[in-house]
Structure 1
């Protein structure tokens, strides 16, 4: 295996919703419009990023007044780039597996095999009610998502596909053309609950976890990988992180403090109430955000907890520590996306590669 294949990968959150990645009134030089996002995708590609993840939101709330639809937006970013893979977030319920499978297969051909999907089981009850979608209890949402993934995999890889589930049924369905990527486009999912991790072990290619300490992430990874091994599978791991890379640690910490100081308390608390209910709804009460503080919730997916906040050297060392416990990809968010993605590519990523090379040499 070549050294390159072992390198940790990097992704960024696509700001296709307004308000950026923090619930703060601090000025952000980030825009949700397509021109900004095309430029960002090109900068990220040139800076060494492997993936971009578009967000799926149907309704306003928590600072996200406007939202572009994820699959169409992902296709636009793919058309503006040459190497970057774009992961389109989708929700079972609004999407039927047949529609999603056909959409993604077409985009896979149009982008020469660079599209992936992130299957989001859903945490925002108000959004489901607003668009007339039935709201399922926590573990039922993951059971539906598992059927959804089994269905799209079957459609992408089999002819005359038939399926009998509690949520979806197919009768001798053959999709043509099938995707370029073999066996199929990569399938991502997130979640921290027992149901989410077990689902990842059984059907997903990638598992996204919220930000956490190295120890907390290791415990999740060890659990998922053991479950996946019992199924004869392997699952790759991505972790969320909000990056504040500055020339000095003091400067980086000051930016973090300013984000928190200028947080929108009403929006943060409303978001916190909704997502904590979702997290605690899991039978074990350990879903995403179940133990998040006010400060954690200022960043949607606990990105501050991962602590990629400091100098390029500090951040590079922490990334390599994440890799050491089994992280395959870091999903990054920023305050000012274009300039900070470029800074990360110039100042952090080369240090990560140097540290990886030293580790490889030491292990040889």
Structure 2
């Protein structure tokens, strides 16, 4: 059910967190991170997040070790453990076209939908790490071709979930009178995707429900969101927007800034540079050279989805105000990473989310006073 801003009736900003189903936490740093990647830790984290007002959890997809992530749990299977531990939280499972065939993915998601009362969504990841594809024997496509494949993947998922005798003839996937039953519980599972390139936004405008972008300023986010929504309107569609952010909330802004400084100071430089090399190659590979990470600095890459750029670093009041600024710029959802997940998710739910709701409720009064 869509959350509502108390006094206005408008949709309230939603909150999601990155599931640490990959070891090493959400920063490539040697700093202490009281975060576990095991099942028991993550099940308790999911219960805490659900109690704390989070709507979604996003499980990560990695196939090979590296960049501080030596261990990885497969996201579709792992998501079921989180769903079993909760009753309201929706889990977004990452899928990577290439390793996954849409028929297999559609069947997995439909089954999980019945097990968990419809609380499963998918994040279709087009792929950025060429070495990973080579390691598992998957063919590597050029940048825009990867998005073309992802678009066909999504069209196939939607067709399989909604039609009997589904037929599709694309360049990457083909189906002939395919009927899958049971279908997922309605409404259909939400489909998320990410990317900052022209191809990514155009694909989202045509086929996705949600568009994820890396961390950014309100001004940078507004430019992306406005462009996306204009393209979607041309298709007679609407697309919601989620933005990545790494939250460091402390009693004073100085304390919060000191934590970020310490994270960067203790960064695993070799791992950050190796990740940056691959990530920047992926970003520059788009025809316009503006994909994810194309302009990321060393500090941006320490939190590997530019999470520091969203500036959710400070006191609960400061962070709440910055979240509302991101909402005004076009964000419907804030996707969060933390240093010490269990304790910081609980703190965020107790001290930040209520302030966000207060500020949302007061927004009409603020506009009237201007």
Normalising by the residue count of structure 1, what TM-score does the alignment of the two structures yield?
A: 0.98
Which residue number corresponds to residue 118 of structure 2?
113
* Structure 2: 5+ residue stretches without partners: none
Q: Aligned match of 1:94 in 99, 113, 130?
A: 99
Structure 1 residues 120-143: Cα deviation after superposition (integer angstroms, max 9, x where no partner): 000000100000000000000000
Counterpart check, 1:133 vs 2:135: no
SS of residue in 2 equivalent to 1:59: coil
Is 1:7 aligned to residue 12 of structure 2?
A: yes
Q: Distance in 2 between matches of 1:123 and 1:244?
A: 27
Partner SS for 1:162: strand
* 1:271-318 Cα distance to aligned partner (Å, 9 max, x none): 000000000000000000000000110001000000000000000000
1:268 corresponds, among 249, 269, 272, to 272
Cα offset, 1:8, TM superposition: 0.2
Partner of 1:192: 196
Query: Is 1:69–2:74 an aligned residue pair?
Result: yes
Runs (4 or more) in structure 1 with deviation over 3 Å come to 1-5, 360-364
1:243-254 aligned within 5 A: 243-254=247-258
> Aligned partners of 1:6, 1:85: CA distance in 2, in Å?
18
Match of 1:159 among 155, 164, 173: 164
Q: What is the number of equivalent residue pairs in this alignment?
A: 363
SS at match of 1:6: coil
Quote the offset at 1:181 in angstroms: 2.4
Q: Which residue number corresponds to residue 27 of structure 2?
A: 22
Q: In the alignment, which residue of structure 2 is the partner of 1:60?
A: 65
Q: 1:45 to 1:259 in 2, by over 3 A?
A: same
2:289 is the counterpart of 1:285: yes
Q: Give the TM-score normalised by the residue count of structure 2.
A: 0.97
Offset at residue 175 of structure 1 (A)? 1.0
Shift of 1:360: 4.2
Q: Say yes or no: does 1:177 pair with 2:148.
A: no
Match of 1:148 among 144, 153, 163: 153
Work out whether residues 108 and 115 of structure 1, in 8 Å CA contact, stay in contact via their aligned partners in 2: yes
Distance change (3 Å), C-alpha of 1:360 and 1:157: farther
Alpha-carbon distance in structure 2 between the residues aligned to 1:363 and 1:52:
33
CA distance in 2, matches of 1:218, 1:82: 34
Question: What's the counterpart of residue 351 of structure 1?
Answer: 355
**d(CA) in 1 for partners of 2:186 and 2:56?**
16
RMSD between aligned residues: 1.1
How far does residue 3 in structure 1 lie from its aligned partner after superposition?
A: 3.4
1:340 pairs, out of 333, 344, 358, with: 344
The CA distance in 2 between the partners of 1:202 and 1:144, in whole Å, is: 13
After TM superposition, give the deviation of residue 43 of structure 1 in Å.
0.1
Question: Contact 2:5–2:357 (CA<8 Å) still a contact in 1?
Answer: no
